[in-house]
Structure 1
Amino acid sequence: MALVKICGILSAEMAEHVAKLEVDYIGFVFARSKRQVSAAQAAEMIRSIRSASPERKVKAAGVFVNPTLEELDAIVSEAPLDVVQLHGQESANYCREVKSRYGAYGIEVIKVFSLSTAGAASVGEEGAVEAEAESDSYESAANKLLEPYRDAVDGVLLDTFDPLYGGGSGKTFAWDAIPPYQAWCREAGVPLLVAGGLLPDNVSGLLEQYRPDGVDVSSGVETDGTKDLSKIITFVERVKSIV
């Protein structure tokens, strides 16, 4: 079954409810966002996760955009994260440094790559990688984009590009771009997660057709900008029903 990450949790009460579901990651946003939390708030929610599901490891993921190492140190020292998710223009060398810095503490590094609705991808100091809508172009773009990050990350996440925040747009990207990214991740031995515009109504189609290793949702399980537990439950059930 695919992994599930519920991102953008804002309260200890909701963190506790979500931790009791069949989820694998709960995400906290430290980057500038309407869902941004402090290290102290995240620490409180992580305590709720641990107490709500002591028999099962639900990983706490922190979402960052171009953080300094000093900023990461300050947050990780207060909030016991299991995952650092890098959602900006972090280079492969930066990811490698983060992995080296926190790997001994069991903290994983997930790098996010943002794709446009047309399938173009961009990240980091390497600049933009433009891909046409043919599979060979997608393969070339994926390999060019990902290869520098080999052995620098523990997972890859594809999201829809947003010009303001980088991700969290609530829009889907061109899913036919997924296969070469999935192929690279399988060869490299790391999971591929997909985000961007996912809803309880469309996640089954994504999983059945493209088989990513996991999915990440935030706005798609909200009502009027607030996490909706009934939508989260439905989303998780539909993901875990796909085998």
Structure 2
Amino acid sequence: MQRPLIKYCGNKSFEDLQVVAKSEADYIGFIFANSKRKVTPIEVKQWLQEVDIQDKKTVGVFVNADFEEIAAVLANVPLSVIQCHGTETVDFIHLVKEQTGLDVWKVLHHDNQAIGLMKQYSGVADGYVVDTKVATMWGGSGVTFDWQSIPIYQQEANRQGVPCFIAGGIDASNIKTLLSYDIGGVDISSGIEQDGKKEYTIIQTIEKWVDTCVERTK
């Protein structure tokens, strides 16, 4: 299997960013929507000026934001990817891409309608994150969904030629099971935290499993 892309999301402090900057992550996520991990554009701007994230790309997470809100963040933060985590339409995704020139990922909440939605965004979304559907929460629940459905999502993402990240309840205790599926990427937030802070030893354990699984399949 190819090494899955790694995204560590929900970085909510200077210290979190310092920890994740040392990791093997491909993407570092910041949440600009209502969440216990919400950050402000000014905070993130200051952190990125002081922490060398090397070649890692930055992802801004938004939930049903209007374009002006996204633009206000971009005025301060050099994002690489816009992640839309709400009920954003195909037309809105297209608008954001057109106006910003950035990749836009769409989050899908796993249920029996998700694969149909994924097909609707075909040719517009530059990537997907499949997360657990939990009442009253858009994400960050720490709950897994039925991973037996992963191949269906991955097959559609492959058809579209875009990455598909798996999110929701991934941590050091179950990453090995997740990696038994041929996934395009992992998106982890609470699963790399201890006492609400990003923890490097947990990250090392997760990345060891990723590297081991890739080596075994070479």
TM-score, scaled relative to structure 1: 0.83
Give the structure 2 partner of residue 188 of structure 1.
160
1:175 CA displacement: 0.8
Which residue is equivalent to 1:156?
128
* Counterpart Cα distance in 2 of 1:154 and 1:176: 24
For residues 144 and 196 of structure 2, the distance between their equivalents in structure 1, rounded to whole angstroms, comes to 18
1:16 deviates by 2.6
Partner Cα separation in structure 2 for residue 19 and residue 91 of structure 1: 33
Deviations 1:107-130 (A, max 9, x none): 211110011xxxx25xxxxxxx2x
SS state at 1:78 partner: coil
What whole-Å deviation, never above 9, does each CA across 1:42-80 have from its counterpart, x for those lacking one? 11233344x252xxx201111110000000000011111
The size of the alignment, in residue pairs, is 212
Find 2:104's aligned residue among 97, 106, 109: 109
Aligned partner of 1:86 in structure 2 is 84
**What does residue range 88-237 of structure 1 map to in structure 2 within 5 Å?**
88-103=86-101, 107-115=102-110, 120-121=111-112, 129=113, 142=115, 144-208=116-180, 210-237=181-208
Query: Using the alignment, how far apart are the partners of 1:52 and 1:186 within structure 2?
Result: 29
CA distance in 2 between counterparts of 1:15 and 1:48 reads: 10
Instruction: Check the 8 A contact 1:109/1:155 in 2, yes or no.
Output: yes
Instruction: Report the aligned-residue RMSD.
Output: 1.5
1:242 lines up with 2:210 in the alignment:
no
2:45 to 43, 46, 49: 43
Q: Which runs of 5+ in 1 are unaligned?
A: 122-128, 130-140
Residue 3 of structure 1, CA deviation:
0.8
Secondary structure in 2 aligned to 1:4? strand
Give structure 2 stretches of 5+ with no counterpart.
none
CA distance in 2, matches of 1:87, 1:16: 25
User: C-alpha distance in 2, partners of 1:185/1:2?
Assistant: 14
Q: Match for 2:146: what amino acid?
A: A
Residue from 14, 17, 21 that aligns with 2:16: 14
Give the distance between the partners of 1:48 and 1:101, measured in 2 at CA.
29
Aligned-pair distance for 1:164?
2.2
Q: Which amino acid aligns with 1:160?
A: T
Partner deviation per Cα, 1:197-228 (whole Å, 9 max, x = no partner): 001121121112x2111101111111222222
Q: 1:76 maps to which residue?
A: 74
Contact map agreement 2:171 2:188 (CA 8 A) in 1: yes
Percent identity for Structure 1 against Structure 2: 40
